[in-house]
Each structure stands twice: as C-alpha cells, then as structure tokens.
C-alpha cells in the first residue's frame, strides 16, 4: 500500500456525489433510475451566456488571466454585490475562483491555523466539514432543532463559541433544509457576531432560489459587521452553470489577498472562457433566473402535494434552494422485503435497489433522521420519482 497522508485517508468522499454516481452507473447498465440526488438545475445554460463563451474562444481569449479574475469580471461582481446584496467592495476585496466550493476552501486556508475551530450549524452542506479539515481546521458541528425546521438558534450559536473558534459558516438559503433566514434572524446572528472577533463565511449560492416572494438577506450588508464577513456566491445554481466552475467572494481585503495567494499557488485564475461567460451572466438579461425560479416553485408545490397526501397533513415546504428534507425516523426499526431499515442509509439503499429512485440519506448532512430529495428534476421525473418513493415507503412495515 502506498503512503497516503493521514489527512486524506480520513477524508470522506462526498455522499451526494457517490449516490449520484451510483444512480448513474445503474442508468448506464440500462436500469431506469430516477435520480433525485443532485443539487443542480436541470436547465441548459442560457443561450446568451453560451454565446459569450463561444465569442471568447473565437477571439483567442484562452490564456492565463489575472489570478484574482479579469478586471471586467471583478467589476461585474462588484456591481452584482452592490445591486443585489447591498454589499460594497473595491476590486481588492473580490476574488474569482473555480466554483464557490473553491472560494470556501481558499477563504478557510487564508484564515485558519492548525487546530482553529469552525462552527458549522447542522444540517450542513456535505462538503463543509471536509473542507475545514483540509484547511487544517477543526469542524464543530452545532445541530439546530429539527422541531423548528432547523431554524437558526442564536443562543446555541453563542454557547458553541470557544477560545479557539475563528469562523462561523452560514448558509442561507440552506442546503439541505430549504430554510431561508429571515431578516430578523440575520440581524440577531449579526448582533451576536459583532460581540466576538469571529469571521463569518456566508455561503449564498442559492440566493436566487427563494420562493413565495421571500427576500434573501446578506449578513455582510448589516451595519457594523462588514469587516467580519466573507460573502461567497457563484453562477452554478442561479444560471444553470454548474459545469463552468466559477465562484467568487467578497470580503475584507486582508483575507481576500491571503486567499488569492493560496489560489495563485494552487490553481491560478479560474477558466478564462468561463469568466467571459460569467460577465455575460451577471450583466445580461436576468429573465432566465425568474423563469427557472417559477419552474422550481411549481415542482416544489407538486412534491409538497404528493408528500402531504401521504402524511395526511401539510408537509413543511422549502422556502428556498431545491430540496425537501423530511424526517424518516419512523421507518427505523421496520422491515422492507425482509431487510431491516436501521437508518436513513438503509432506507436510501432500499429505495434505490428495489424502487429505482435515488435520494441522499441525512447522515451526509449531519442529520441522520432525515433524507434529502432534490426537486431539480423534470416534472416527468418528479412524477415517476414520487410514485416510486411513495410505493417504496408503503412497503416498509
Ligand atoms: C451550499 C452549497 N455551497 C456551495 C456549493 C458549490 O457550488 P459551486 O458549484 O459553485 O462550487 C454547493 C453545491 O452543491 C452548495 O450546495
């Protein structure tokens, strides 16, 4: 066996990617699997964005750019933050990276010393703990209450802060819970953060996916907290550009410069063509976002109706992002086709193996009594997927 670092040996693979991959393998083998695992829009990237990329290739815009991103993209990001989020940055306070995931990694590498703690409210996006560990930090998982729908709890947050805490990761709209922090929740968290010297990494990648007229509030826009917040965003979800790999962040100059140093040594600039496409996304017509949001809301409502009919009551609908995260604990200890369902992983396994519908078990998100269902799928797939899911659940007794 080759020598591998302890850090990497201990690193878990992303459960979401693993399940998506398993569903894909079954599909490749000819099995008709409905995959409700992925957190990516199933729409094509809008035409004007693709055309900008084609023009970039034609114009030979195919070389290294400035490490932090092209001047025109940095300006477009500054304008976006200003008009959408009331966040005001100078060019030295913005870094463009190869996806929001990369932005978070760069930010954590810039901030953490070995052993520094990072508070991650649970349920959390699968990759946060692993990225913290890769950056030599220690993830401190802080569960929010399932009974409240996992709404943020400032008293718990305050209690989790210790002498080694450096960073608090916030994610609204939240993957996997689908909650969107209200303005008063954001204000309450901001007031608490201001009493500390913590840095908040605010992951706002699902900002545009908010339903029923809700408004996303960026914590960095609140008074007196600006120097403590790094705001992360990107084009993956808003513009159906997951494969283009562009994320960006804005924050205190010192952190952004340090994150740029990390990026400069590891990857250098994000893809030049994708940067041109991102300028078109941010500066161009925003109609495609509204069209996608409308579709997502219709799909969300459809899934909610199907789940509610089974539960015989209202199921809590996601306020944002693209996921349902229902509790499934009542299935635990029961049997399906002779197999004992001990936990959400067993349940996901049963649904995939016998009913050919793929969902991600809650263990991956630090909430083992739950399962995540993505509604980023066509209506046809959702109908089929819900039929299979409900049939699979019925079998469990
Ligand atoms: C909460 C959250 N943050 C960040 C990302 C990563 O986005 P990107 O594709 O820009 O790396 C994802 C992707 O699934 C996500 O769900």
44-65 confidence digits (pLDDT tens):
999 999 999 999 999 999 999 9
C-beta 173 within 6 A of ligand 1: no
3-state secondary structure the chain: CCCCCHHHHCCCCCHHHHHHHHHHHHHHCCCCCEECCCCCCCCCCCHHHHHHHHHHHHCCCCCCCCCCCCHHHHHHHHHHHHHHHCCCCCHHHEEEECCHHHHHHHHHHHHCCCCCEEEEEECCCCHHHHHHHHCCCEEEEEECCHHHCCCCCHHHHHHHCCCCEEEEEEECCCCCCCCCCCHHHHHHHHHHHHCCCCEEEEECCCCCCECCCCCCCCHHHCCCCHHHEEEEEECCCCCCCHHHCCEEEECCHHHHHHHHHHHHHHCCCCCHHHHHHHHHHHHCCCHHHHHHHHHHHHHHHHHHHHHHHHHCCCCCCCCECCEECCECHHHCCEEECCEEECCHHHHHHHHHHHHCEECEEHHHHCCCCEEEEECCCCHHHHHHHHHHHHHHHHCCC
Domain boundaries, the chain: 6-44+288-394, 47-283
Over pLDDT 90: what percentage of the chain? 87
Higher pLDDT, 272 or 17: 272
Q: Confidence class of residue 314 from pLDDT cuts 50, 70 and 90?
A: low
Asked if residue 39 has its Cβ within 6 Å of ligand 1, the reply is yes
**pLDDT tens digits for 133-162?**
999 999 999 999 998 989 999 999 999 999
The reply to whether ligand 1 has any atom less than 6 angstroms from the CB of 99 is yes
Kindly report, residue by residue over 256-305, the tens digit of the pLDDT: 999 999 999 999 999 999 999 999 999 999 999 999 999 999 999 999 99
Q: Is the pLDDT of residue 94 over 90?
A: yes
pTM of this structure:
0.96
Domain 6-44+288-394 coded CATH 2.40.50.140: no
pLDDT at 328 over 80: yes
pLDDT at 188 over 90: yes
Ligand 1 pocket, residue 175 CB under 6 Å: yes
The topology (CATH level 3) of 47-283 is 3.40.640
Is residue 101 in contact with ligand 1, taking CB distance under 6 Å? yes
Q: What percent of the chain has pLDDT over 70?
A: 98
100 Cα to the center of ligand 1, angstroms: 6
CA of 141 to the centre of ligand 1 (A): 19
Ligand 1 pocket test target in 20, 45, 97, 100 with most atoms within 8 Å of CB: 100
178 lines ligand 1 (CB under 6 A): no
The ligand 1 atom nearest the CA atom of 103: 11
């Amino acid at each position: 066996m080759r020598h591998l670092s302890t850090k990497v040996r201990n690193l878990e693979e992303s459960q979401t990617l693993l399940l998506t991959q398993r569903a894909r393998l079954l599909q490749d083998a000819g099995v008709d699997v409905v995959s409700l695992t992925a957190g990516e829009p199933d729409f094509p990237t809008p035409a004007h964005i693709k055309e900008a990329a084609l023009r970039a290739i034609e114009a030979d815009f195919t070389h290294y750019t400035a490490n932090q991103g092209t001047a025109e993209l940095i300006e477009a990001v500054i304008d976006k933050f200003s008009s959408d989020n009331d966040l005001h940055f100078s060019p030295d306070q913005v870094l463009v990276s190869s996806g929001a995931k990369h932005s978070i990694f760069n930010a954590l590498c810039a901030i953490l010393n070995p052993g520094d703690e990072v508070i991650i409210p649970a349920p959390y996006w699968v990759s946060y703990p692993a990225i913290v560990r890769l950056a030599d930090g220690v993830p401190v998982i802080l569960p929010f209450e399932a009974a409240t729908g996992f709404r943020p709890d400032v008293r718990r947050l305050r209690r989790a802060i210790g002498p080694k805490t450096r960073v608090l990761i916030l994610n609204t709209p939240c993957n996997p819970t689908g909650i969107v922090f209200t303005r008063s929740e954001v204000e309450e968290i901001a007031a608490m953060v201001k009493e500390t010297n913590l840095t908040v990494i605010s992951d706002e990648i699902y900002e545009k996916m908010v339903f029923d007229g809700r408004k996303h509030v960026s914590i960095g826009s609140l008074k007196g907290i600006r120097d403590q917040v790094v705001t992360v965003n990107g084009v993956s979800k808003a513009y159906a550009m997951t494969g283009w790999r562009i994320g960006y962040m804005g924050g205190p100059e010192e952190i952004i410069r340090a994150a740029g140093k990390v990026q400069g040594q590891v990857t250098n600039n994000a893809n030049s063509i994708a940067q041109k496409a991102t300028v078109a996304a941010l500066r161009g017509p925003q109609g495609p976002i509204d069209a996608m949001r409308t579709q997502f809301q219709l799909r969300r409502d459809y899934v909610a109706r199907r789940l509610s009919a089974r539960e015989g009551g209202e199921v809590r609908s996601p306020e944002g992002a693209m996921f349902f995260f229902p509790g499934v604990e009542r299935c635990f200890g029961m049997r399906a086709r002779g197999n004992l369902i001990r936990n959400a992983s067993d349940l996901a396994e049963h649904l995939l193996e016998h009913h050919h519908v793929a969902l991600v078990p809650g263990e991956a998100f630090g909430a083992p009594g739950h399962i995540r269902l993505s509604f980023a799928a066509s209506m046809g797939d959702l109908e089929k997927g819900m039929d299979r899911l409900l049939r699979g659940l019925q079998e469990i007794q």
